[in-house]
Chain A
Amino acid sequence: MFTKLHAQSKLQLLFGFITGIIFGFLLQKGGVGRYNVIINQLLLKDFTVLKIILSAVVTGMIGIYFLKGRKLVELHPKSGSLGMTVVGGLIFGIGFAVLGYCPGTISTAIGQGNLDALSGGLIGIILGAGLFAQLYPKIQKFLKIGWFGAITWPELFQVNPWVVIVPLSLIIIAIFFRLEAAGL
């Protein structure tokens, strides 16, 4: 691992910034900064969002687990629970459809000139995130309901990660062929 590089905090801020520029460029070119594309995904008319996410997942997991095997990276799985992940995820989905952008794609939308994203959505997300920070001390118990922690599928099943990665990649590629065959 490049631990010395990771410790250089100013340089890391620059790396974050450069990553963001590339990420924003990719999201804009993918069309997912558009309200229309997000809503049509949720209305199951346009599968651009799913195609982008799943091809990032296949590419990302193969590379990350390869690098992990060489001890060049470590994983950062997020912990979760029913009270946190399921409830939060369902709330998020409602906001996703009402707003028509998500935290990453709203920044993309603003960059390409969408003023509904800038005037309404951006302020809303900051307020909503702030609202959670206020609630946080009061809902500690609720967030721990059904705790399953920071665990990955290979750890849960106690198998070699490639036993998950290879079939999962094949399933995702099969989904792509089905989507293309259906003209979606």
Chain B
Amino acid sequence: MEFLTMKLWSPYLVGIGIGILSWFTFLLSNKPIGCSTAFARTSGMMERWFIGNKVDEKLYFKEFPAKIDWEWMLVLGIFIGSFLSAKFSGEFKVQWIPSVWLATFGSNITPRVLTAFLGGIILGLGARWAGGCTSGHGISGTLQLTVSSWIAAVCFFISGIATAYFIYYRIGG
């Protein structure tokens, strides 16, 4: 079982593994792998704490009910799968600042957390706006040869690359 304790696998093997996993989700669950609706549903579940069942009357939550579904369980599973993988290889490490950030923007925690928070808001907004994220459009949609998913994936990378260059070579440069 040595492969379970390896720190990294070849990206090609990981990709093939995800591709094969998607055969099974289509076959056994009639679902493509996706992650971002789980976050929208969670926001609805949290809104329920404040406005109760009125949340179910909102247009968005009529289409994507604010409750736990297959995809929500999938996202929950990711935390556990990642934790197990990191534990097996001794890679689990509590860490505030990634080293690439640290080298450019220093070791102060607050700017990194605020940036992550802001980035998260934009990402969550954009994912639901586009109707999918790197998994739902980027992997599951493109592998079905969906036109909208190929367009979305190209847009993710165009603005992602432009923004990363701006952050690291303009602001940080």
Contacts and interface: CB of A to CB of B under 8 A. Distances in A.
Given A52-B18, A57-B139, A89-B152, A77 B122 contact: no
Contacts of B114: 120
Contact of A113 (B28, B68, B86): B86
**For chain A, what secondary structure do more than half of its interface residues adopt (helix, strand, loop), or is it mixed?**
helix
Contacts of A131: 121, 124-125
B135 A25 contact: no
Contacts, number: 530
B71 interface: yes
Contact of B95 (A5, A12, A115): A115
Contact of A77 (B47, B84, B135, B144): B144
A124 B163 contact: no
A36 to B, nearest CB: 4
Contacts of B17: 22, 26
| Chain A interface category by residue count | 35 or more
A90 B24 CA distance: 31
Given A64-B26, A89-B151, A133-B40, A28 B81 contact: yes
B167 to A, nearest CB: 6
B126 interface: yes
Given A15-B28, A56-B139, A91-B129, A96 B156 contact: yes
Interface in B128-173: 128-165, 167-168
Contacts of B167: 97-98
B151 A111 contact: no
Contacts of B157: 42, 93
B11 to A, nearest CB: 4
A102 B134 contact: yes
B18 A23 contact: yes
B154 A89 contact: yes
Interface in A103-154: 103-117, 119-134, 136-137, 143, 148, 150-154
Contacts of B47: 130
Nearest to B132: A78
A125 B123 CA distance: 6
B23 to A, nearest CB: 4
A137 to B, nearest CB: 5
Interface in B34-87: 35-36, 38-40, 42-44, 46-47, 58-61, 64, 68-86
Nearest to A114: B95
Interface of B: 6, 8-9, 11-12, 14-33, 35-36, 38-40, 42-44, 46-47, 58-61, 64, 68-86, 89, 91-101, 109, 112-165, 167-168
Given A89-B156, A93-B126, A128-B126, 17 more contacts: A2-B27, A13-B70, A16-B74, A20-B74, A22-B21, A56-B22, A60-B20, A64-B23, A78-B131, A85-B148, A88-B126, A92-B159, A104-B133, A117-B116, A124-B122, A137-B60, A164-B145
